[in-house]
Chains A and B, each alone.
Chain A
């Protein structure tokens, strides 16, 4: 199947700093990528849909000024958590659809574990 990578795999930062997470589709081009957040023992919650060349679509309750998404190329989307606080500590996972396979399956990156002190 298609491969999606994320970087970094984990990050620890101080409260008030910003953290950037990268999501790359390695062997296909993705016009759409998705960003999820997962708290311990909970399911994945969609935060936003990242669209190449246009603004991201945020889910209800997700602050677009706090979670900045940039999808500048067909293989890269970035999520920046601005002014991070301890409650932002979570597992952030991106996914992308591979249009070559009909486009219905989402391939997930390995996730980024963010810990805000």
Chain B
């Protein structure tokens, strides 16, 4: 079966750094994805990790440790527009399984 855990909610201040963790236990692994979803909108792709280590893309970075079943998304220089839900998803060969998502609120 699939089990993916993320914190439900997080709050951070504009300009700060926030780390959103994701742990997973899945049967089959074909990469770990992070998506951003604003309320009422579809998810947009942020990052993809299939090998251990850190992937950096601008203000966003994503880390994966396959042996620990662990990933995190790191957001730097937070902006108000970063307030959204962040979804961790594990890819199996044929489909994605999503975690419950983390609602991030960025405050002044």
A interface residues, Cβ below 8 angstroms from B:
1, 32, 34, 41-46, 49, 57, 91, 93, 95, 104-111, 113
Chosen A-B contacts, 20 in total, with CB atoms closer than 8 Å, are A34-B95, A34-B96, A42-B101, A43-B87, A43-B98, A43-B100, A44-B43, A45-B98, A46-B97, A46-B98, A49-B94, A57-B94, A95-B96, A104-B50, A105-B33, A106-B33, A108-B44, A111-B40, A111-B41, A111-B42
User: In the complex the two chains form, what is the Cα distance from A113 to B42 in whole Å?
Assistant: 11
Give the complex CA separation of A71 and B87 in angstroms.
27
Once the chains bind, are A106 and B94 in contact (CB under 8 Å)?
no
A27 to B52, CA, bound (A): 32
What is the interface of chain B, defined by CB distance below 8 A to chain A?
30-31, 33, 35, 40-45, 48, 50, 87, 91, 94-101, 103
**Which residue of chain A has its CB nearest to the CB of B35?**
A108
CA distance A111 to B42 in the complex (A): 6
What's the least CB distance linking A91 to chain B, in Å? Answer: 8
Most chain A CB inside 10 Å of its own CB: which residue of B91, B96, B99, B101: B96
Smallest beta-carbon distance B19→chain A, Å: 19
Contact of A42 among B30, B42, B100 (CB under 8 A): B100
Complex CA gap A108/B31 in Å reads 18
Whether the Cβ atoms of B95 and A110 lie closer than 8 Å is no
Q: Is B31 touching A104 in the complex (CB atoms < 8 A)?
A: yes
**A9 CB to nearest chain B CB (Å):** 10
On chain B, the residues within 8 Å of A45 by CB distance are 98
Are A44 and B91 in contact, with the CB atoms below 8 A? no
Given contacts A104-B91, A105-B48, contact A110 B41 (CB under 8 A): yes
